[in-house]
Amino acid sequence: MKKTITGLLFFLCTASVFSQELPLVPKPSSVVTQPGTLTLNSKTEIVYNDQVALQDVLFLNQFLSDNYNITLKTKKSKKNKNGIEFRLDKSFKGEAYALTINDRTVTIQGDTAGLFYGLQTLLQLMPLDESATVTLPQVTIKDEPRFKYRGAMLDAGRYFFTVEETKRFIDLMSYYKLNTFHWHLTEDGGWRIEIKKYPLLTQIGAWRRGTNINNSSDEFDRLPHGGFYSQKEIKDIVKYAAARNVNIIPEIDMPGHSLSALAAYPEYSCTGGPFKVLELWGIQSDIFCAGNEKTYTFIEDILDELITLFPSQVIHIGGDEAHKDRWKVCPKCKAKMVAENLKDVNELQSYFIHRLSTYLGSKGRRMLGWDEIMEGGLAPGAMVMGWRGEESGIKAANMEHEVVMTPNSSMYLDYYQGKSSSEPFNIGGDLPLEKVYNYEPLSPQIAPDKQKYIIGVQGNLWMEFIHTASKLDYMAFPRLLAVAEIGWSDAHKDYDDFIARVGGNLPHLDKEGVNFRIPEPLGLHDFESNTTHLTVLLTPPIKGSKIYYTINGEDPMLNGTLYTSGLQLNLTDKPVELKCIVRTKEGRVSNTYTASYSLKK
Ligand code: ACM
Ligand code: ZN
């Protein structure tokens, strides 16, 4: 899009923004800063009034030890003379908290989750320089989330991430106050959860043999691949997440996306197989047979084990992209439709999903599914994850079903986040940070009295083309910060304010070694000028980062000039191509970003 001159004026205003804003993401409900600071010293103690707060106390001390090589004394006490206090206070609702820093003390108040989030806010205020004393701004923050569900999904089915990688992702989620980890554990391309009653699910279903074509590019990697989580590992991850206020919702995708299960147990398909764990991507015809009673027993046995591992009230059963061609011709499916008086395969899918919902209900759990579970009739009480645009989520909310909004157009973080020519190969789409940020889950098409059925938002990371933890970082961050902000902060949108806070916050991730996508320099836009002399004003997108540029077509990585202040361009008939890279304080370098400056015709 071409920007007008107002675009340039705005960037003048943001040039010094990093020093004015506290780099908090998501933005708290209320922040009042006072002049002055508080410096921690060797006499600073951490006090807490209740044993519940002890895990936060230990968390803070671990952070201080890792980052500044200091360990503070801790004490159970109600008095806080010169220290950091965690005050469990049940009068705070759910995840709400207050954080006050004055010239002598830090006080965090909240119930269990609130104390953890007050601590996360405090960590975001910690200085970046490890050699410096720990100096904090004086501030009063009162904060609570807008939505109760703030999620991120990892597709571990298509690509297996290790326990450590998964925990690190949970760490990063919780740092931004995301509280729900949707763990997509099964796919055509891999079954990742140990089920003791059906060992072949992981012995066969967890492994892709691959074609041994050593394709070094990310496109259609057909290399051998596999892995699964033992039940012991799953319990460990669930506990780890719970300590960070993250609930894990496991997903077993059914009746479609189930080829890995059918490769292990083909008797639960319509045709009997044989099948191979999928090596490429795409929607498969072979799905669970909904006409075979034994399929239901198999699935219920799996759910029985699943619910012993996951305390989550809500269990995700998938339900997306089930091609039903096999059902149309399968004698068992046809017989089931006759017996149950179902008029078509959509109603058969609805029957299948209703049975799962009833089964989960009988175990005290609740079913969540992708929006296709609405086809043929929605099971009573089912929660819906709206992904095919916004429409299905809107419809489900208007039908008084709880909905998590994750429209692919705004929340699919596997989509491109910049021009495809300068991005690593991805599945497609167009989803820059600003577009994610501007998503508003409460559509005006939802009746006012039904808006409460939208319980939150979620960013999804599908792994067709994400095969390393480093690329996962790249796709997730910083867009997951925008998801967190939508989920937590009020509905008011101000992208300039957001990107300034992101720019102040990303150095923390840089220091942690997170391979986030470095945003474009602020102010870099294609532009048509009325005058031949043009001053281009750029701002580094991250505090402490530097911009290097060329205007002669050369690679700014090799021959770039350090940008220091307004860049004077003399425009002729030929547009000027401004090419930039951004280098972070830790030395990471962005893609090359380009903008074209031309004279208005
Ligand atoms: C989906 O993207 N198939 C839920
Ligand atoms: Zn069948």
Ligand nearest to the CA of 255: 2
Q: Is the pLDDT of residue 211 over 80?
A: no
* pLDDT reported for residue 9: 34
CA distance 183 to 172: 15
CA torsion 24-26-31-36 (nearest 10°) is -10
What domain count does the chain have? Answer: 3
Are 261 and 405 in a shared domain? yes
Mean per-residue pLDDT of the chain? 93
Cβ neighbours of residue 269 under 8 Å, at least 6 residues apart?
262, 275, 286, 287, 288, 289, 326
Asked which of 110, 125, 143 is the last residue of a domain, the reply is 143
What is the average pLDDT across 87-92?
98
* pLDDT reported for residue 21: 77
Q: Is the pLDDT of residue 149 over 90?
A: yes
Are 266 and 291 in a shared domain? yes
What is the average pLDDT across 233-241?
98
- Comparing CA positions, the residue from 336, 482, 374 lying closest to residue 25 is 482
Ligand 1 neighbour 191 (Cβ under 6 A): no
153-171, pLDDT tens digit by residue? 999 999 999 999 999 999 9
* pLDDT reported for residue 43: 87
Asked which of 115, 143, 171 is the last residue of a domain, the reply is 143
Ligand 1 neighbour 412 (Cβ under 6 A): no
In a domain, 502, yes or no: no
Residue nearest to atom 2 of ligand 1 (CA): 387
More confident of the two residues 281 and 373: 373
What is the average pLDDT across 298-316?
98
Instruction: Tell me the two tokens of residue 193.
Output: 């959860």
* pLDDT reported for residue 212: 57
Contacts by residues 441-449 (CB-CB < 8 Å, ≥ 24 positions apart): 441/147, 441/405, 441/486, 442/491, 443/390, 443/393, 443/394, 445/390, 445/394, 446/394, 446/397, 446/398, 447/398
In a domain, 23, yes or no: no
Q: Is the pLDDT of residue 10 over 50?
A: no
Are 429 and 542 in a shared domain? no
* pLDDT reported for residue 214: 53
What is the domain-level CATH number for residue 330? 3.20.20.80
Ligand nearest to the CA of 319: 1
Q: Is the pLDDT of residue 379 over 60?
A: yes
Share of the chain above pLDDT 90, in %: 89
Are 216 and 300 in a shared domain? yes
What is the average pLDDT across 579-601?
96
* pLDDT reported for residue 6: 34
**Given pLDDT bands bounded at 50, 70 and 90, which one contains residue 219?**
low
Residue nearest to atom 1 of ligand 1 (CA): 320
* pLDDT reported for residue 20: 60
In a domain, 512, yes or no: no
In a domain, 569, yes or no: yes
**Given pLDDT bands bounded at 50, 70 and 90, which one contains residue 18?**
low
**Given pLDDT bands bounded at 50, 70 and 90, which one contains residue 132?**
confident
Are 353 and 448 in a shared domain? yes
Question: Quick check: pTM over 0.85?
Answer: yes
In a domain, 583, yes or no: yes
466-484, pLDDT tens digit by residue? 999 999 999 999 999 999 9
Ligand 1 neighbour 593 (Cβ under 6 A): no
* pLDDT reported for residue 131: 75
Are 259 and 136 in a shared domain? no
Ligand 1 neighbour 320 (Cβ under 6 A): yes
Read out DSSP for 50-91? SGGGHHHHHHHHHHHHHHHS---EEEE-S--SSEEEEEE-TT
200 CA distance to ligand 2 middle (Å): 21
* pLDDT reported for residue 129: 82
In a domain, 39, yes or no: yes
Q: Is the pLDDT of residue 1 over 60?
A: no
302 CA distance to ligand 2 middle (Å): 19
**3-class SS string, 459-528:** EEECCCCCCCHHHHHHHHCCHHHHHHHHHHCCCCCCHHHHHHHHHHHHHHHHHCCCCCCCCCCECCCCEE
**Given pLDDT bands bounded at 50, 70 and 90, which one contains residue 14?**
very low
* pLDDT reported for residue 376: 84
56-82, pLDDT tens digit by residue? 999 999 999 999 999 999 999 988 888
What is the average pLDDT across 131-149?
94
Q: Is the pLDDT of residue 15 over 90?
A: no
**Given pLDDT bands bounded at 50, 70 and 90, which one contains residue 220?**
low
Are 198 and 157 in a shared domain? yes
Contact (CB, 8 A) for 276 and 260: no
* pLDDT reported for residue 22: 95
What is the average pLDDT across 393-400?
96
Are 274 and 421 in a shared domain? yes
Ligand 1 neighbour 370 (Cβ under 6 A): yes
Are 461 and 526 in a shared domain? no
Are 337 and 393 in a shared domain? yes
Q: Is the pLDDT of residue 17 over 90?
A: no
What is the average pLDDT across 202-209?
96
Distances (CA, A) of 88 to 77, 91, 92, 109, 499: 12, 9, 9, 6, 33
Contact (CB, 8 A) for 324 and 297: no
CA torsion 256-259-262-266 (nearest 10°) is 100
CA distance 247 to 312: 6
* pLDDT reported for residue 7: 32
In a domain, 19, yes or no: no
Are 320 and 292 in a shared domain? yes
* pLDDT reported for residue 42: 80
Residue nearest to atom 3 of ligand 1 (CA): 320
Supply the range of the domain harboring residue 355: 149-488
Asked which of 488, 509, 540 is the last residue of a domain, the reply is 488
What is the domain-level CATH number for residue 83? 3.30.379.10
What is the domain-level CATH number for residue 551? 2.60.40
CA distance 18 to 148: 30
What is the average pLDDT across 260-272?
98
Are 134 and 169 in a shared domain? no
In a domain, 506, yes or no: no
Ligand nearest to the CA of 322: 1
